[in-house]
């Protein structure tokens, strides 16, 4: 895989990204955005603060050329392309360097404030059955480019940097994969990680206030705008008609799509709805549910997926995620038998993991970390825990997502009986101060508040206090095996392992 200077000039000019090009006619054999990843004859993209020491390190590793922003001020004799937008340039050049692997994959992109990961795994499992295990995945939790252990990677971002994404797509194509299911975050569009990428199907699950604050989105309007860009860059779109801001979503979709390329789904209600597909709960308990899907018009009948389905993941909110996954995979050719089998077997690591104990009731482990996800989880637990109490162990991340903290408190205040406020990746902040911000919203006089900043101790106390009919929710960390403390990924047992250990020894 190589890129010539002529190709780079042409690609950047076509996207109106090029400000100036070097007098250079060489071939480049590697791409990098981190000086430590530079290899012989590489092109390095300068994305942020860049020190002279980094440049010196890259030169020793074989750096041959640079793509830089207009404010790059280090002196160098290397060939330099100056561009208007380095991340966008990186995406355009990366897809060319890896020979446009996305053109050889059917792509499903999934966005939403909550439910992206669960929906991604549901669609992935459906497509695995439909393609005989020839499907790749890119999620918050992991990236899978093939069926061997060496093709499984730990994810560091919900949507990878473009250079990593297209490298993984190329690996997936080389491994014979036919499709890829991706989580697409708002930051992916804001930071141009998917610039120039088009999806066969884009799913918009929901939108609620989140990711507003320093280093994220300055306003909710910016957050919504970034998320809606998935609609602009998908051939067919699936939208949850129950979502907040649905009017803005459907208006945006209609700008670039005919009605037969827009698919709507919603929960069935007494007044009926205008969705193509509707669904309703047939039966549910704390471990699984059965739901029915109805086709309301000719558009929906093109899919042919009406019927009853059993979902082996608790939470009625997951039924909507399942319907979205079913619609997307059906558009790509999956049949309903594969859907039914997948929904019976799908497991989402760290999402709605269920443990039960005769003495300490039911424990849920979930990555829920904002108002929407925590409220949905607690309301489900409350509705299905008729005799016992609902308690939650929760905190909030430090140095990002500050806007989540009042929402977390609001959700807890509405539906929990007991809350253990604790640490959750505090980074450079004091977890007790973060807990103070959550606690400002805890005004329910019936709510019992316990503060314990050591997360292992908080979980231990919560499970020990739970009775046979109680539900304990461990929110935020899932199966993460580290806590981000003062810039260091500090080893951590993980919530699920802690709960399993405590219940085994109870």
Residue positions forming the annotated binding site: 35, 112-118, 158-159, 185, 193
Q: Look at residues 74, 82, 94 and name the one whose alpha carbon lies nearest to residue 33.
A: 94
Task: Give the single-character DSSP code of 253.
Answer: H
Q: Look at residues 402, 460, 457 and name the one whose alpha carbon lies nearest to residue 427.
A: 402
Containing 67, the helix (H) or strand (E) segment is strand 63-68
Strand partners, 65: 43
- Give, in degrees to the nearest 5, the angle at Cα 111 between 106 and 113: 165
Please give the Cα distance from 92 to 177 (Å, whole number): 22
Please give the Cα distance from 485 to 487 (Å, whole number): 5
Q: Are 462 and 499 in contact (CB under 8 A)?
A: no
Containing 472, the helix (H) or strand (E) segment is strand 471-475
Q: Are 30 and 58 in contact (CB under 8 A)?
A: no
Cβ partners under 8 Å of residue 156, min gap 6? none
Please give the Cα distance from 118 to 131 (Å, whole number): 20
Q: Look at residues 469, 462, 467 and name the one whose alpha carbon lies nearest to residue 498.
A: 462
- Known binding residues for ATP are 112-118
User: What 3 state SS string does 389-406 have?
Assistant: CEEEEECCCCCCCCCHHH
Torsion over CA: 426, 431, 437, 442 (sign) = positive
In sequence order, what E strands does 223-347 have? Answer: 234-240, 262-267, 277-284, 289-295, 307-311
End-to-end CA distance of the chain: 57
Please give the Cα distance from 188 to 185 (Å, whole number): 5
- Provide the token pair at 460: 């231990």
Please give the Cα distance from 428 to 390 (Å, whole number): 31
Would residue 239 be called left, alpha or beta, if left means φ above 0 and alpha means ψ between -120 and 50 degrees?
Answer: beta
Please give the Cα distance from 260 to 199 (Å, whole number): 16
Strand partners, 471: 362, 390
Task: Give the single-character DSSP code of 257.
Answer: -
């Amino acid at each position: 895989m190589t890129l010539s200077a002529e190709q780079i000039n042409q690609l950047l000019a076509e996207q109106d990204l090029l400000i100036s090009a070097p007098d250079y006619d060489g071939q480049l054999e590697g791409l990098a955005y981190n000086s430590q990843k530079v290899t012989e004859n590489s092109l390095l993209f300068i994305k942020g603060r860049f020190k002279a020491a980094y440049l010196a390190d890259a030169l020793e590793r074989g750096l041959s050329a640079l793509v830089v922003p207009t404010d790059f001020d280090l002196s160098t004799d290397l060939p330099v392309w100056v561009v208007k937008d380095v991340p966008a340039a990186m995406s355009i050049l990366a897809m060319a360097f890896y020979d446009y692997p996305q053109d050889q994959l059917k792509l499903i992109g999934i966005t939403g404030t909550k439910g992206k990961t669960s929906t991604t795994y549901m669609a992935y499992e459906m497509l695995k059955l439909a393609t005989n295990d020839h499907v790749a995945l890119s999620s918050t939790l992991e990236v899978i480019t093939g069926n061997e252990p060496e093709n499984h990677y730990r994810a560091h971002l919900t949507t990878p940097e473009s250079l990593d994404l297209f490298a993984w797509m190329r690996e997936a194509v080389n491994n014979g994969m036919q499709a890829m299911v991706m989580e697409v975050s708002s930051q992916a569009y804001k930071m141009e990680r998917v610039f120039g990428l088009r999806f066969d199907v884009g799913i918009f699950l929901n939108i609620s206030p989140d990711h507003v604050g320093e280093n994220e989105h300055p306003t909710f309007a910016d957050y919504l705008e970034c998320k809606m860009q998935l609609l602009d860059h998908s051939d067919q779109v699936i939208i949850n008609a129950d979502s907040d801001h649905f009017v803005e979503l459907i208006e945006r979709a209609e700008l670039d799509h005919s009605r037969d390329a827009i698919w709507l789904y919603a929960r069935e209600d007494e007044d009926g709805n205008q969705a193509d597909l509707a669904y309703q709960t047939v039966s549910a308990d704390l471990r699984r549910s059965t739901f029915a899907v109805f086709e309301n018009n000719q558009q929906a009948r093109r899919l042919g997926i009406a019927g009853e389905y059993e979902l082996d993941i608790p939470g009625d909110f997951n039924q909507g995620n399942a319907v979205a996954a079913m619609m997307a995979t059906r558009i790509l050719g999956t049949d309903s038998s594969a859907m039914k089998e997948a929904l019976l077997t799908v497991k989402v690591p760290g999402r709605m993991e269920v443990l039960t104990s005769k003495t300490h009731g039911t424990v849920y482990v979930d990555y829920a970390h904002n108002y929407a996800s925590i409220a949905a989880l607690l309301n489900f637990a409350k509705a299905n825990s008729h005799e016992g109490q609902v308690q939650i162990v929760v905190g909030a991340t430090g140095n990002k997502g500050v806007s989540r903290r009042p929402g977390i408190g609001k959700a807890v205040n509405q539906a929990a009986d007991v809350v253990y406020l604790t640490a959750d990746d505090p980074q450079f902040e004091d977890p007790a101060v973060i807990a103070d911000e959550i606690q400002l919203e805890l005004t329910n006089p019936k709510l019992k508040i316990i503060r314990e900043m050591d997360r292992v101790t908080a979980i231990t106390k919560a499970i020990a206090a739970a009775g046979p009919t109680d539900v304990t929710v461990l929110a935020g960390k899932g199966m993460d095996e580290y806590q981000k403390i003062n810039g260091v990924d500090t080893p951590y047992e993980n919530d699920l392992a802690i709960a399993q250990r405590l219940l085994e020894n109870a």
